[in-house]
Amino acid sequence: MKEKRVIVRRKRGIHLRPAQEIVNLTGQFACDVFLQNGSYRVNAKSIMGILGLAAAEGHELTITTDGVDEADALNEVFDLIESGFPNLKEDE
Amino acid sequence: MRGLTVRKLYEDRKEAFHFECLTEVLESERLITVSDVHRPGLILAGFTRNFLSERIQILGETEMLFLETLDAGQHERAIDRLFEQKMPCVIIAKGLEYDEILMRRASEARIPVLRTPQSTTPFIHELTEYLENAFAPQTTVHGSLVDVYGVGLLITGRSGIGKSECALDLVERGHRLVTDDMVIVTRRHNLLYGEAKEHLRYHMEIRGIGIIDVRRMFGVRAIGKNKRIDVEVRLREWSADVEYDRLGLEERMTTILGKKIPVVTIPIIPGKNITVLAEVVAMNHQLRVHGIRSAEELSENLVGTMDRSRRRAGG
């Protein structure tokens, strides 16, 4: 099991499109991926789970991965959130 | 341990309990950490052992009448004994009058004193209820919660296995969706309750379609705000290595927030109607609640039949 913290850097937080970016990425891995915001811990392969985090700009999230490809999953999810979702426009 | 400040209690319930704060301070040095409250009659009478100082202390009519029967010296010592304890706060019920010594000792000890016009016992019940909710253990579970024939089914399984599709199918057949894909589970009075995160309530994500609003699409009869969780239905890919329950003689259990509930594992095979199985799980649970255990009854019948045929053969 691996764990890393990341700060949300999008002005509008992790809303629908960023959540979709996350599940599209996490769905490619065999391992379990969790995101935690405060006391809420959700499955990062679930859109509704990620939306449930209501992760706003500046919130610190904990990424946890557990399984065969946990190291790659952890790094890629971290990079996606840390870089502020480069595939999306600022207002998307 | 989660704690609640006296200020939070005051602000949350100010209207409901018509609280007034009698002391200058509302900030207590001690957090409220338990949902039980205490009436400090015995410590006022002089018995200080085993005093439950972590609890909110409630002064009702009996305590106040008792204090009135004491002479000035005894009265002061009684109040001193109480305020030597580090309690979160003291609440005077029934809008009772208080004396100067009590307020002075409270201020010196920096222990807030609140007052409510409500009668003592109903007030204690309502306060305990509020505190129990505030301290109820909570967690999030990846799954969907549907009310099927009055039975709360928590449908779990890995992403993409078809939890949402199963929930949608159940809604289509007249059952009630509570939440899809993320359940906030709270344990209260030794039961588990589930509900949606407020801003996601009644929404579902269906792969290939996207996010839908179940309340708009299916109407109010298709939804429920919260529901007791009775059974977990675990969806799993069928595997030849796993032994599935074929008899239902034993009830298999799972633990959520320390509370055990029955779990039924259903293997997913293409073409199998999971929804009907989920309905059967709910009805079977309802039968068990009513004391009807199909596998055991069948077993007894079978043993009875074999006994009779053996007697006939032997006699």
CA distance A89 to B302: 69
What domains, with CATH codes, occur in chain A?
Answer: 2-82 (3.30.1340.10)
pLDDT band at B277 (very low <50, low <70, confident <90, very high): very high
Q: One of A2, A4, A12, A15 is an active-site residue; which one? A: A15
Among A59-73, B154-168, B234-248, the least confident range: B234-248
Helix (H, G, I), strand (E, B) or coil at B308: helix
- Cβ-count burial B235-270 (b if 16+ within 10 Å, e if not): beeeeeeeeeeeeeeeeeebebeeeebbbbbbeeee
Of A39, A42, A51, the CB nearest to B142: A42
B112 or B272, higher pLDDT: B112
Q: What tens digit of pLDDT does each residue of B78-96 get?
A: 999 999 999 999 999 999 9
A47 to chain B: closest CA residue: B205
Q: Quickly count: other Cβ atoms within 10 Å of residue B87's Cβ.
A: 25
Average pLDDT, chain A: 92
What ipTM goes with this model?
Answer: 0.82
Mean pLDDT over B282-304 rounds to 91
pLDDT value for B272: 80
Asked whether the predicted pLDDT for residue B314 surpasses 80, the reply is no
Per CATH, the homologous superfamily of domain B138-298 is P-loop containing nucleotide triphosphate hydrolases (3.40.50.300)
The CA-CA-CA angle for residues A23, A28, A32, to 5°, reads: 75
Which residues on adjacent β-strands are paired with residue B228? Answer: B193
pLDDT band of residue B292 (cuts 50, 70, 90) is confident
Q: Which residue has the higher pLDDT, B240 or B277?
A: B277
Record: contact A16-B197, CB cut-off 8 A: no
For residue B315, pLDDT over 80 is answered with: no
Q: How confident is the model at residue B251 (pLDDT cuts 50, 70, 90)?
A: confident
Name the strands in the sheet holding B56-59, side by side, starting at the edge strand that comes first in the sequence.
B20-21, B113-115, B90-92, B56-59, B37-38
For A32, name the nearest residue in chain B, comparing CA atoms only.
Answer: B158
CB contact under 8 A, B159 and A47: no
B182-236: pLDDT as tens digits: 999 999 889 999 999 989 999 999 988 999 999 999 999 999 999 999 999 999 9
Domain boundaries, chain B: 6-135, 138-298
Segment A24-31 mean pLDDT: 94
pLDDT per residue as tens digits for the range B30-81: 899 999 999 999 999 999 999 999 999 999 999 999 999 999 999 999 999 9
Of the candidate ranges B118-127, B143-152, B267-276, the one whose mean pLDDT is the lowest: B267-276
| φ and ψ at residue B234, rounded to 5 degrees | -100, 115
Residue (of B48, B17, B53) closest to B34 by Cα position? B53
Using the 8-state DSSP alphabet, how is residue B32 labeled? B
Q: Please tell me which residue in B189, B199, B246, B312 is annotated as part of the active site.
A: B246
pLDDT at residue A4 tops 90: yes
Q: What is the pLDDT of residue B172?
A: 94
Chain B residue numbers with beta carbons less than 8 Å from the beta carbon of A49 are 140, 142, 181-182
* CB A21 within 8 Å of CB A28: no
Kindly write down the DSSP assignment for every residue of B70-112, as one continuous string. Answer: S-HHHHHHHHHHHHTS--S-EEE-TT----HHHHHHHHHHT--
Q: What single-letter amino acid sits at B115?
A: R
Q: What is the pLDDT of residue B142?
A: 93
Write the CATH number of the domain with boundaries B6-135.
Answer: 3.40.1390.20
CB contacts, 8 Å: B204 with chain A: 48
Whether B142 is catalytic: yes
